[in-house]
Structure 1
Amino acid sequence: MDSLTQFALGAAIGTAVLGRRIGPRRAAIAGGVLGTLPDLDVLLPFDGPIDGFVEHRGWTHSLFVHSLLAVPIGEGLRRLWRARGRVPDLPRLEVWAAVWLVLTTHALLDWTTTYGTRILWPLSDVPYALSWIFIIDPLYTLPLLIAVLGALILGARWRGVRRGAVVGLVLSTAYLGWTGVAQGIAEAKVRAALAAGGVTPERITMIPMPFNSLLWRGIAIDGARYINVYRSVLDDRVEAPLHIHPRHLAHDRALDAYPPPQRVERFSDGNYAYRRDGEDILIADIRMGVTPNYVFTFRVGRVVAGEDAGSAVIEPAPVERREGGHDPAGIGWLWTRIFDEDAVRAE
């Protein structure tokens, strides 16, 4: 999730658990800072843009690492607060538990997004992704943010500040549960639309569309092509437009011995596609963004001879990230499509 949401989640937990002990403002600030700590892995040195892409949310998001770090971080905070003489001697287990909750909920929340999270490292190097919620969803963040702003602005003057933090956590968690239910509803509609179109795909991945939990994109992998199917949980019809796109797997075979694109293929859990841009061969994780503007697109090869796909000679190229374009009308279409099945996206 975005940094603001992770700060708000950590701050709400800090206020709920430690607000009575050290004051709501101090508890909110400590929890918020700890809540953003795992994402500092973006500052680590990586060998290239693909390594930075696939290694993000690695060991710093491991539940095992968080469990190990909770004790020294918690004890350090406890001694710092005691040394400054502003709070009484705090129960160790209470502080350790607060730190553990803030760190682990960061990883678990990231797990519910589309971007893979290695929550079981080092036992498993698999980047797990439930893909329940878009990386920014105001309906999840708002209850937490209201509670945290109350703690920061009003502090102990708000007599129900801890209760407010608990209510914010309950509401945001309930909404998160709804996103999982919504995904199941939308997936059933995607499968029905594919069946109505005579398509039996190898696999389907459900992706929440930006900023909401009502509109979803189903990615159906069907051999050398992938199919986008947009479904709202409010849709009534069985049929839906099937947006079919080639994956250009000939480029995959040409670059089969080159490690960078293979890492994208594994990280995307098979949701990838190649395309040619001039003389450059690009690979994209098709889960994030929409056709043709995928957020994580990389130049991995180049054509050195031949023009058509069947005869082109391709060799590996230094990896370079390519920024996707922007669709100014996209957000307007998104909100229209939630309620209107006739609002078909052009791809």
Structure 2
Amino acid sequence: MDNLTHGLLGLAIGALRRPDVRPGAPARSTPTDRAVLLASVLAAELPDLDTLLARGDAVTVALHAHRGLSHSLVFTPVVALAATLVARAVFRGARWTPVLVTSLVSVVFAHLLPDLWTGWGTRVLLPFSDARLSLDWTVVVDPWVTLPLVVGAVVAWRRRAVWRKAVLVGLACSMAYVGARVVSWGVLTGRVDRAYPEAQAVRVFPAPLSFRTWRYVARLPGDVLAAGELSLLGEPREDRRVEAPVDVLPEDLKAIPTVREALAWARFPLVTVVPVEGGREVRIADLRYHLRGEPTLTFVVRVDKGGKVTDARLERGGSASELLRRWRGGDAREARPD
């Protein structure tokens, strides 16, 4: 998820803890109350500092940034401890236990889990496994996850007397939306399964800026991928079938770290290798990111004759405005030959 959403989720998790109320004293926040809120927001944001540590070519950085060791479960106590130390330094006298416990919860539920439920995924099992796990419930930037949290935070800022209720109502609305996405994902996955009984694997993915429309990919016998769209009220509508052999790269190309990283990222890869002046160009697209069956996200790696990467880039299938125009094209698809 984006950093705004992470931070607002952290604030909401901090608000879940009932503030301290001293007997006979006016309702006023204590150093512990304030430290809990600050630490929760910090803990929700700190894992993304690994962006500053990402090194290498454009492809490697794009795939490593935001998905390093700081995003793993085993590193969670370190992130929580760092957030706790900062919060207690700012609000002296805050108690250790509530600040540290809330920070731990915030790292897991305000950062790791939201990253996990996106289509891009995250590596929560590092260093034991390099696998990128994903639940495919929402896109990375989903305004319907974020907007209720923003509204709750704005109301809390304007009306201090009900700040906690406002933040928690925003959290409840946001999580209700995510819950609806989970249910939709399960229903639509079953629908695609029934439409392709011969499929070896099927997967449903969220489409950007749309709750109703989803994308799907089915791997069929003979290394064939079927890609299409479906809506909550409709049946799967296939856009394209393409041959996509699982293992098409020669061993020397697969051994290149940049290529290997892109292959590990792609779950339904479309891989091509073409000769270019001075070497070869490897193009690795993932059909889960498609528009009318055409990939919209491709990693391109150029390798010289000695096996050295000379250029690496990410192609997004056009500018944001072009993709939006194509997405809004709806049913106006070009006819394809049989």
Same fold (TM over 0.5): yes
Q: CA-atom RMSD, angstroms? A: 3.2
The Cα shift of 1:37 comes to 1.6
- The question of 1:53 aligning with 2:55 is answered no
Q: Deviations over 1:186-229 (max 9, x none)?
A: 2222233335xxxx232222210002332111112334432212
Please list every run of 5 or more consecutive structure 1 residues that lacks an aligned counterpart in the other structure. 83-88, 305-313, 338-342
For 1:241, the aligned partner's letter is: E
Aligned-pair distance for 1:271?
A: 1.9
Residue 311 of structure 1 aligns with which residue?
Answer: none
Where do residues 90-109 of structure 1 align in structure 2 (5 Å cutoff)? 90-105=94-109, 106-109=111-114
* 1:89-144 Cα deviation digits (max 9, x unpaired): 22221111221122112011100011131223233332211111111222211111
Residue of structure 2 equivalent to 1:185: 187
Partner of 2:207: 209
1:318 aligns with 2:310: yes
CA distance, structure 2, for counterparts of residue 63 and residue 115 of structure 1: 18
TM-aligned CA deviation for residue 17 of structure 1? 3.4
Q: Is the Cα contact below 8 Å between 1:114 and 1:288 reproduced in 2? A: no
Q: Structure 2 unaligned segments of length 5 or more: list them.
A: 20-28
Distance 1:130 1:37 in 2: 22
Query: How far does residue 6 in structure 1 lie from its aligned partner after superposition?
Result: 1.3
**Which residue does 2:147 correspond to in 1?**
142
Looking at structure 2, the residues matched to 93 and 27 of structure 1 have their Cα atoms a distance apart, in angstroms, of 10
1:298 maps to 2:300:
yes
* Alpha-carbon distance in structure 1 between the residues aligned to 2:311 and 2:153: 42
Once residues 42 and 270 of structure 2 are traced to their aligned partners in structure 1, the CA distance between those partners, rounded to angstroms, is 38
Residue of 123, 132, 143 corresponding to 1:118 = 123
Which amino acid letter does the alignment assign opposite residue 105 of structure 2? L
SS at match of 1:66: helix
- State the identity %: 25
Q: 1:322 to 1:71 in 2, by over 3 A?
A: closer
Which amino acid in the other structure matches residue 59 of structure 1?
Answer: L
Which whole-Å CA distance do the structure 2 matches of 1:242 and 1:192 have between them? 17
Residues 16 and 165 in structure 1, CA contact (< 8 A), matched pair in contact too: no
- Taking a change above 3 Å as real, the CA distance of residues 21 and 150 of structure 1, as seen in their structure-2 partners, is farther
Whether the 8 Å contact between 1:8 and 1:144 is mirrored in structure 2 is yes
Contact 1:140 1:172 in 2 (8 A): yes
For 1:274 and 1:131, how far apart are their aligned partners in 2?
A: 22
**Partner-residue secondary structure (3-state), 2:270:** strand
In the alignment, does 2:160 pair up with 1:158?
yes
Distance in 1 (CA, whole Å) between partners of 2:327 and 2:207 is 8
TM-score (norm 2): 0.79
The equivalent of 1:282 in structure 2 is: 283
Tell me, yes or no, if structure 1 residue 244 matches structure 2 residue 236. Answer: no
Once the two structures are TM-superposed, the CA of residue 251 in structure 1 deviates from its matched residue by: 4.8
Q: Which amino acid aligns with 1:143?
A: P
Whole-angstrom CA distance in 1 between matches of 2:192 and 2:108: 33
Task: Determine the C-alpha separation between the residues in 2 that align with 1:260 and 1:227.
Answer: 27
SS in 2 for 1:4: helix
Contact 1:214–1:232 (CA<8 Å) still a contact in 2?
A: yes
Q: In 2, are the aligned partners of 1:218 and 1:229 still within 8 Å (CA)?
A: yes
Task: Answer yes or no: is 1:4 the counterpart of 2:23.
Answer: no
Q: In the alignment, which residue of structure 1 is the partner of 2:13?
A: 13
* Partner in structure 1 of residue 174 of structure 2: 172
Residues 30 and 257 (structure 1), Cα distance of their counterparts in 2 relative to 1, 3 Å cut: closer
Distance 1:241 1:289 in 2: 12
SS at match of 1:275: strand
SS of the equivalent of 2:300 reads strand
Compute the displacement of 1:77 (Å).
1.6
Deviation at 1:181, TM superposition (A): 1.0
Note if contact 1:132-1:183 (Cα within 8 Å) is conserved in structure 2. Answer: yes
| Contact kept in structure 2, 1:134 and 1:212, CA below 8 Å | no
Q: Deviations over 1:54-86 (max 9, x none)?
A: 43312111122112332343134213311xxxx
The alpha-carbon distance between structure 1 residues 202 and 335, as it changes in their structure 2 partners (threshold 3 A), is same
Q: Which amino acid aligns with 2:178?
A: L
Partner of 1:128: 133
Q: Scaled by the length of structure 1, what TM-score is found?
A: 0.78
Q: For 1:73 and 1:25, how far apart are their aligned partners in 2?
A: 13
Matched residues in 2 for 1:317 and 1:68: separation? 35
Tell me if structure 2 keeps the 8 A contact 1:288–1:296. Answer: no
